[in-house]
Amino acid sequence: MHTVTKVFVILNLVVCLILSQYVWVSLAGNVQWREKYENEHNARQNDKSSLETAYNDLLAARASNEHS
C-alpha cells in the first residue's frame, strides 16, 4: 500500500468512528426524550382522570344537596 492510501484509510476510519459516536449519542437522546414524553403524557392522563373523578364527586354532592 502506498503511504497516501494508508493515511487516507486511517483518516477515513477516524472520521467514521467520530461520526458513529454522534449517531449513538443522538439515538440515546431520542430514547431519553421519548421516555420523558411518555412520563409527561402518563402524568397528564392521571391528572385528567383525577380531575374527572373530583368533578363527578362534586356533581354527586350537588345533586344530593339539591334533593335534601
The answer as to whether 50 is a domain residue is: yes
The answer as to whether 7 is a domain residue is: no
pLDDT reported for residue 30: 82
- What does the pLDDT look like over 24-58, one tens digit per residue? 777 777 888 888 999 999 999 999 999 999 999 99
The answer as to whether 4 is a domain residue is: no
The answer as to whether 40 is a domain residue is: yes
Phi, psi of 34 (to 5 degrees): -65, -40
Range of the domain at 44: 32-62
Please compute, for residue 3, the number of CA atoms within 13 A of its CA located in the half-sphere on the CB side.
0
Helix-strand-coil percent breakdown of the chain, rounded to 5? 95, 0, 5
Q: How many domains does the chain have?
A: 1
pLDDT reported for residue 45: 95
Contacts of 1 (CB under 8 A, 6+ apart): 9
The answer as to whether 20 is a domain residue is: no
